[in-house]
Structure 1
Amino acid sequence: MPSSKSNNIALNNTLPSTQNLQSDVFTWQFFHEQAVQLLHATAQILPTLLLGIILLALSYLIAGPLSRLLIKPIDYMTDSKLVHLVVRRSISTLIILFGVYLFLRLAGLTEFAVAIMSGTGLIGLILGFAFRDIAENFIASLLLSIQRPFKIDDVIEVDNRLGIVKKVTARATTLVDYDGNHIQIPNATVYKNTIKNLTANPKMRGKVEIGIGYDNDIRSAQTLALDIANQQNAVLSDPPSQVLIKNLGSSTINFVLYFWVNSEQHSPLKVASQLMRELVNEFTKQDISMPDDARERIILADPSENVSSLEEKQPSKVQSEKSETVDQTKTLDDVSSDTDEIREQAEQSRDPEQGKNII
């Protein structure tokens, strides 16, 4: 009996050390097996992974040259730089995304690849709603660069704003008006509104309105007005000028003198001013009356009273003749166009917006 108890005690004393040894062996063996399995898995997937990396790098390298090759047919459709840039970058992005998809598929991450492709479309949709105005301006820029309703330095009128086109970027169109102000109009507004291009046809029609009294010969006044218009060097002979009766006023017969000028060389406003001055001077010489609106005058004084006293109160109509200088004469007779001067100011002015011209 005492010997058996001593054996049990010895067995109990050695049991914990044996369990510790087995747990240590199990732990190291577990990590060793995991490492071996990882190495085997890596060795099996390594060729496929290397192939995926090669395809990804290859897609990145050939994206640029292949996109330039694929957009060659677009050169025959349009010469818009913006369209070429957008299409080329879109093709490059698609090629790179395809390379990323192949890499993830070969790496065994098929579900992750599908999730990325789906997420890309979702993100694009969200960004499209968030930046709707920016996207609208960008699409309008593409359409403007393709259709080209105007060019740089053209005189256009958009949304009741008249000016010279200085710059067209992917966001806005910059005009310089005849007061020297820079006006930026979003391309979406430009595309959706009526565009009046005053440079496409350099011939522009101007008009001068004038009224003569009922005691004058209408046909003689019309002929005289035509002669005065045809004597001006700035007025074009083709199309010919016209003098048309507009309406019958209370004290005058009103007619309009229509004339044509080359807007690239002469200003219609300046020519109209010069024609008005010449018409008034010539009509005065020919005793053609140009009365103002009729007014009723009531005299409350005694008719027997000397009318001379009233005449003395009237201001004397004496025209003071002042000598004109050479510069003043040139200024008054100047009918040149202001367009080139505004274009020169636009070139010298600070650029209000960064970016390259797209047309």
Structure 2
Amino acid sequence: MGLGKAWELLAAKVTGWARDFVLLLPNLLVAIVVLVAFWLGAKLVRNLLLRVLRRVSHSEQVNQILSYAVYFAILAVGTFVALGILGLQKTVTSLLAGAGIITLALGFAFQDIAANLMAGVYLSVQRPFRPGHIIETKDFFGTVKRVHLRWTEIRTQQGQVVLIPNKEVFENPITNYSASGKRRIDLRVGVSYGEDLEKVKRVATRAVEEIATRLPDTGVEFFYEEFGDSSINFVVRFWISYTRQPDFLQAQSEAIERIKKAFDEGGITIPFPIRTLDFGVKGGERLSEVLEETGASRQGMRFPS
């Protein structure tokens, strides 16, 4: 093939491309307009969604991820529409198939991470607790510091920082001690069988009513519960304003001190455990014999025969 022939073939090819480009130019312009429109729409939707999410979620990471996920989804739709306008349906089909395969593979490979991410999004949007709340979950008790995408950060009462995967927080019961802003304290005490029960109730109730942190709009509850081995046991209940765990511990400590002081002043006895020993059981051993075997008699002790 001569140089002239090769030049003619190249010129014909370039001419064909130019003709196809001219024919495709209207569709290309439309595709560009569609892409620009989808891009502007994606930015608008992203900004609006970000504003809405910031009202319901305090996690900026979650807000950014959700808003940008919608943003890129709209851009992807715009890209597929533009390719369709250009007549590249096969390319669109190949891209969709490839995206599906990649998504499926990533889902299997990172299913635990994905589960924690989804649980983190749910916790940030539903907000069963917030930073600063005192909660108990997965056998951990402490103050919520922050909800991350993959884990929830809790500081225990001993000062340790615990990172609990969001999936486990989502799947396990959560006790939120701060949600209501108040908490009930139950104190169980026992008094001697010889005490006047009406007096005991009156003195204990009055002692608890004087606690400064007790909520005044809630009464003090007093109930006798059982006949114990050496005492009649009762429970006294009252509510306090609760924002921190030291509030609970301080009120509980003050209640114990006040009840003990009031009982001492009123002559009410909180008995020690009492045990009755019966050495006259038929067939049993004599106490003197047992002690003599241990050498107690050598210490100068004498026992009745």
- The residue number in structure 1 matching 2:292 is none
TM-score (norm. length: structure 2): 0.77
Who is 2:101 aligned against? 122
Farther off after superposition, 271-280 or 120-129: 271-280
How far 1:149 moved relative to its partner? 1.6
The residue number in structure 2 matching 1:239 is 218
Question: What is the CA-CA distance between 1:30 and the residue it aligns to?
Answer: 4.8
CA deviation after TM superposition for structure 1 residue 41, in Å: 2.6
Cα shift readout 1:265-287 (whole Å, capped 9, x = no counterpart)? 76222222222223223323332
Structure index of larger Rg: 1
Match of 1:271 among 234, 251, 260: 251
Shift in CA distance, 84/235, structure 1 to aligned 2, threshold 3 Å: closer
Q: 1:205 to 1:216 in 2, by over 3 A?
A: same
Q: Match of 1:12?
A: none
Structure 1 residue 105, shift from structure 2 partner: 5.2
Distance 1:157 1:100, change over 3 A: same
- Cα separation, partners in 2 of 1:53 and 1:132, compared to 1, 3 Å: farther
Q: What aligned pairs does 1:112-151 form with structure 2 within 5 A after superposition?
A: 112-151=91-130
Match in the other structure for 1:289: 269
Amino acid at match of 2:10: A
Letter in 1 for 2:72: T
What are the equivalent positions in structure 2 for 1:1-359 lying under 5 Å apart? 26-47=1-22, 48=24, 52=28, 55=31, 59=35, 62-63=37-38, 65-70=40-45, 72=48, 79-80=56-57, 85-101=64-80, 104=83, 109-264=88-243, 267-297=247-277, 300=287
Q: Name 1:21's counterpart in structure 2.
A: none
Paired residues of 1:49 and 1:107 also in contact (CA < 8 A): no
Q: Secondary structure at the match of 1:43?
A: helix
Letter of the structure 2 residue corresponding to residue 31 of structure 1 = A
Q: CA RMSD in A?
A: 3.2
Secondary structure of the 2:144 match is strand
Relative to structure 1, the CA distance from residue 256 to residue 79 in structure 2 (aligned partners, 3 Å threshold; closer, same or farther) is: closer
For 1:249 and 1:132, locate their aligned partners in 2 and report how far apart those are by CA, in whole Å: 55
Q: Deviation at 1:224?
A: 0.6
CA distance in 2, matches of 1:64, 1:108: 21
Q: Is the 8 A contact 2:142 2:157 kept in 1?
A: yes
Q: Does the residue aligned with 1:157 lie in a helix, a strand or coil?
A: strand
Higher relative contact order structure (alpha carbons within 8 Å, sequence separation ≥ 6): 1
**Change over 3 Å in CA distance of 1:34–1:99 after alignment to 2:** farther
Instruction: Name the amino acid aligned to 1:254.
Output: N
Code of the residue aligned with 1:198 in structure 2: it is: Y
- Give, in whole Å, the separation in 2 of the partners of 1:64 and 1:211: 74
Q: Is the 8 A contact 2:184 2:239 kept in 1?
A: yes
Q: 5+ residue gaps in structure 1?
A: 1-25, 303-308, 311-359
The superposition leaves residues 157-198 of structure 1 with CA deviations (integer Å, 9 ceiling, x where unpaired) of: 222322212111221111112111111122222222222222
CA 180–76 in structure 1, closer or farther in 2 if over 3 Å, else same: closer
Q: Which runs of 5+ in 2 are unaligned?
A: 280-285, 290-299
1:27 & 1:104 partners in 2: Cα distance?
40
For the Cα contact (< 8 Å) 2:42–2:75, is it kept in 1?
A: no
Maintained 8 Å contact 1:63/1:91: no
Could you tell me how far apart the structure 2 residues matched to 1:58 and 1:148 are?
A: 39
CA 1:178–1:202 in structure 2 vs 1: closer, same or farther (change >3 Å)? same
**Identical pairs, percent:** 26
CA 175–36 in structure 1, closer or farther in 2 if over 3 Å, else same: same
